[in-house]
Amino acid sequence: MQLRVEGISHAYGGLTVLSALSFEVREGETLAVIGPSGCGKSTLLGILGGILQPATGRVALEGALPADCLNPITYVFQDFALLPWRTVAGNVALPLEHHPLSAAERDRRVGAALSLIGLDDFAEAFPKQLSGGMRQRVGIARAIVVRPAILLLDEPLSALDAQTRELLSEELLAIWLRERTTSVYVTHNLLEALHLADRVAVLSRRPGRLARMVEVKVPRAERGDPAHAAELARLHDELWGLMRGEAQAADREIQHG
């Protein structure tokens, strides 16, 4: 399934945060969204997920849902938002409770999600017993247990330390290479965007407009190969060149606007 964004604009009161934004997310693609602070990245994700209604424009889902899809769109947030009184398996099972599934089917789905994210041995643990990285893995498993057609991720690694971010980034890449879930990934981290995404949408400072769509032609499975280091470094410099002036202007607006 693919996602099409057509002429999206949005404002909070008199403050316009997104303006005339159009792009598509191809089936099976991971699109990273970067931009200066305050440019509307999280607002955009809320509109894509149907949490917010845009002032103008529309979002369209195109194509057939996967056969075992329970929720067309689901989120992974920066905040793990786990229920402390539930086990890992209980947290992952939470979104299944609104669907008419047998106990055996719920257990099968939970087991498959835990296995995919490497949590088989932690099913009966409670969130307080887990590291930050492990708690975020539970959040990811909870999102994929419904087999979404579209996965929306709002800076899911930003609260983690650098080493854990690196490990979880590798695991996310492995999952996407296997599952091919259409995904939109909001991040401030340019290296993370280049590691995970097929394309990178660069937004301008507020109101957020599409400044550039940058394609990462290095195959995702080969991003760690030293042979591609020069190309990825070139793309990083290109992204930062697009971002730097906008980020400086946005910072002045935040400080003095």
pLDDT of residue 221: 84
The percent of residues in the chain predicted with pLDDT above 70, rounded, is 96
Q: What is the mean pLDDT of residues 117-138?
A: 91
- Whole-model pTM: value is 0.90
pLDDT of residue 257: 36
Cα 12 versus chain centre, distance:
23
Cα separation values, 213 from 36, 86, 210, 230, Å: 15, 41, 7, 20
Residue 231: pLDDT above 90? yes
In this prediction, residue 251 has a pLDDT band, given cuts at 50, 70 and 90, of low
pLDDT of residue 84: 94
Q: What is the mean pLDDT of residues 61-71?
A: 88
- The torsion defined by the Cα of 33, 199, 159 and 86, in degrees rounded to 10, comes to 100
Q: What is the mean pLDDT of residues 66-91?
A: 89
Cα 42 versus chain centre, distance:
10
H/E segment holding residue 83: none
Of 17, 57, 8, nearest to 37 by C-alpha is 17
In this prediction, residue 250 has a pLDDT band, given cuts at 50, 70 and 90, of low
Q: What are the start-end ranges of the H helices in 117-228? A: 132-144, 162-179, 190-196
pLDDT of residue 255: 46
Stretch among 20-24, 95-99, 122-126, 244-248 having the lowest mean pLDDT: 244-248
pLDDT of residue 93: 95
Angle between helices 162-179 and 103-116 (to 10 degrees): 120
The percent of residues in the chain predicted with pLDDT above 90, rounded, is 60
Strand-pairing partners, residue 37, are none
CB 178 within 8 A of CB 30: no
Strand-pairing partners, residue 199, are 31, 215
pLDDT of residue 25: 96
Q: What is the mean pLDDT of residues 10-18?
A: 91
